[in-house]
Amino acid sequence: MSIAQSVLQGSVRDRQIVAARVIVTSPGRNFVTLKVETRSGVFGLGDATLNGRELAVAAYLEHHVIPNLIGRDAGCIEDTWQFLYRGAYWRRGPVTMTAIAAVDVALWDILGKMAGLPLYRLLGGRSREGVLVYGHASGRDIEEASAEVARFVSMGYRAVRAQCGVPGLKKPYGVTREKNAYEPAESELPAETLWSSPAYLELVPKLFDRLRADHGRSLELLHDVHHRLAPIEAARLARDLEPYRLFWLEDATPADNPAGFELIRRHAVTPLAVGEVFNSIFDCKGLIERQLIDFIRTSIVHAGGVTHVRRIADLAGLYQVRTGFHGATDLSPVTMGAALHFDTWVANFGIQEYMHHTEQTLEVFPHDYTFRDGRLYCGESPGHGVDIDEQLAQRYPYSPRQLPIARLEDGTMWDW
């Protein structure tokens, strides 16, 4: 029986996709959500948010994906994934892979709801009780950053990412203005920031020297370079940070050329994390197989959903590379919900990034995950456990915003 025929029979008929739509909402920041509905009335949600490029994914879904979904069997998750990936002819890229992810996560959500099982059980069951997360502490200077780390420790965090202002550089990456989560995409046109690698390289070892002195050896500390350094500079920083035993140093250099990481490896044993901007297993493959990284950050929302990221995690597992999914606030609670189920199941779990969403966002996305003692716990409700309040969502119309750019002091464009 062909797939087209099978959707018309028995319970398969209940699983037939009868509607799908894109919901764009901006409760403090933009989110794009795909809602897929079946004939039985069961629906699934997938996140399709690509920060600063939201409407590209919304249009891709509306014009090029949704028409293909109507009439399909929502239970054919693998076939739908292959259809959207191979069938487009134009493969990969963040827009395509985010759109595919939204469909994939929505279909896993439907499968869970129809089976009456939480997503982690569909994947293979629980490997751990709770999911270790890291929060974001930052300060305009070292003093303030250390006080913020203390605040995270007092909230129960066992792992904290620390970022700090660099003297002379305006709008440093990762430093919040208030005690809210860092939201870089703040204006319609990109904000201009200033960068200096020498000034940064002087400062960061001092920051971690102070953090170890103030907070002891057992707290897990992380840091994000945000793709700013040349490989040999990244190697120097990774070596300078060795005494402070980081959990990881993230995006130490742009990964466009994976061989750059060989230079870092040659000089330092600081663990390396990469991959939040990756969107397929082919971006990850070289770094993993050559054992140039320790944590892979590629997330469900930007890399084709659960179906594809599961393959990335399995490949990583062969080389003892662990997961450390991207979890900034521009990934919606839908992604957080799905990621926590994945993290609860996956054998080679490392850590999960957790930037707390604003209360406004959390109201729009009712969810059943909870934070306790430095860990997040996924809920037991069927599917991924995150919903959307569509009426409330309507009250927050899309607001155009782009990510900042960075320039050197002489005006040269740099990596933000």
Give the nearer residue to ligand GCO in terms of CB position, either 332 or 381. Answer: 332
Per CB under 5 A, contacts with Mg ion among 270-299 are 276
Q: How far apart are CA 110 and CA 104, in angstroms?
A: 10
Cβ of residue 406: shortest distance to Mg ion, in angstroms? 14
Output the 3-class SS for 271-310.
Answer: CEEECCCCCCHHHHHHHHHCCCCCEECCCCCCCCHHHHHH
Q: Which pair of tokens denotes residue 182?
A: 């860092």
Q: Which does residue 240 touch among Mg ion, ligand GCO, none (CB within 5 to 8 A, set by kind)?
A: none
Is the Cβ–Cβ distance between 194 and 167 less than 8 Å? no
**Contact flag: residue 54 with ligand GCO (CB under 6 A):** no
Is the Cβ–Cβ distance between 131 and 67 less than 8 Å? no
**Contact flag: residue 330 with Mg ion (CB under 5 A):** no
CB atoms within 10 A of CB 156: 12
Q: How far apart are CA 11 and CA 4, in angstroms?
A: 14
**Contact flag: residue 276 with ligand GCO (CB under 6 A):** yes
Question: In the beta sheet, which residues pair with residue 194?
Answer: 407
Q: Which of 256, 315, 321 is nearest to 294 (CA)?
A: 321
- Among 261, 353, 367, 378, contact with ligand GCO (rule: CB under 6 A): 353
Q: How far apart are CA 197 and CA 228, in angstroms?
A: 7
**Contact flag: residue 184 with ligand GCO (CB under 6 A):** yes
Query: Could you tell me which stretch among 20-28, 76-84, 139-147, 222-230 binds Mg ion (CB under 5 A)?
Result: 222-230
**Contact flag: residue 47 with Mg ion (CB under 5 A):** no
Write the DSSP assignment of 12-79 as a string of letters: HHHTBEEEEEEEEE-SSS-EEEEEEEETTS-EEEEE---TT-HHHHHHIIIIIIHHHHTTSBTT-HHH
Q: Out of 136, 223, 226, 357, which one is annotated catalytic?
A: 226
**Contact flag: residue 343 with Mg ion (CB under 5 A):** no
Is the Cβ–Cβ distance between 124 and 314 less than 8 Å? no
- At position 251, the amino acid (one-letter code) is D
- Among 37, 104, 224, 294, contact with Mg ion (rule: CB under 5 A): 224
Q: How far apart are CA 313 and CA 320, in angstroms?
A: 10
Cβ of residue 134: shortest distance to ligand GCO, in angstroms? 10
- Coil/strand/helix, residue 376: strand
Q: Is 341 a catalytic residue?
A: no
Give the nearer residue to Mg ion in terms of CB position, either 20 or 272. Answer: 272
Query: Could you tell me which stretch among 260-268, 312-320, 326-334, 394-402 binds ligand GCO (CB under 6 A)?
Result: 326-334
Q: Is 367 a catalytic residue?
A: no
Give the nearer residue to Mg ion in terms of CB position, either 174 or 385. Answer: 174
Angle at 97 between CA 95 and CA 99, to 5 degrees: 70
Give the nearer residue to ligand GCO in terms of CB position, either 92 or 326. Answer: 326
Cβ of residue 222: shortest distance to Mg ion, in angstroms? 10
Q: Out of 173, 200, 369, 396, which one is annotated catalytic?
A: 173
Cβ of residue 253: shortest distance to ligand GCO, in angstroms? 14
Give the nearer residue to ligand GCO in terms of CB position, either 114 or 264. Answer: 264
Q: Which does residue 328 touch among ligand GCO, Mg ion, none (CB within 5 to 8 A, set by kind)?
A: ligand GCO
Q: Which does residue 233 touch among Mg ion, ligand GCO, none (CB within 5 to 8 A, set by kind)?
A: none
**Contact flag: residue 240 with Mg ion (CB under 5 A):** no
Q: How far apart are CA 153 and CA 3, in angstroms?
A: 53
- Among 100, 159, 255, 328, contact with ligand GCO (rule: CB under 6 A): 328
DSSP 8-state symbol, 159: E
Q: Which does residue 279 touch among Mg ion, ligand GCO, none (CB within 5 to 8 A, set by kind)?
A: none
Q: How far apart are CA 317 and CA 282, in angstroms?
A: 16
Query: Could you tell me which stretch among 28-36, 40-48, 139-147, 325-333 binds ligand GCO (CB under 6 A)?
Result: 325-333
* Residues noted as catalytic: 173, 226
Q: Which spans of this chain sit near Mg ion (rule: CB under 5 A)?
A: 224, 276
* Interface residues toward ligand GCO, by CB under 6 A: 51, 184, 224, 226, 276, 326, 328, 330, 353, 403
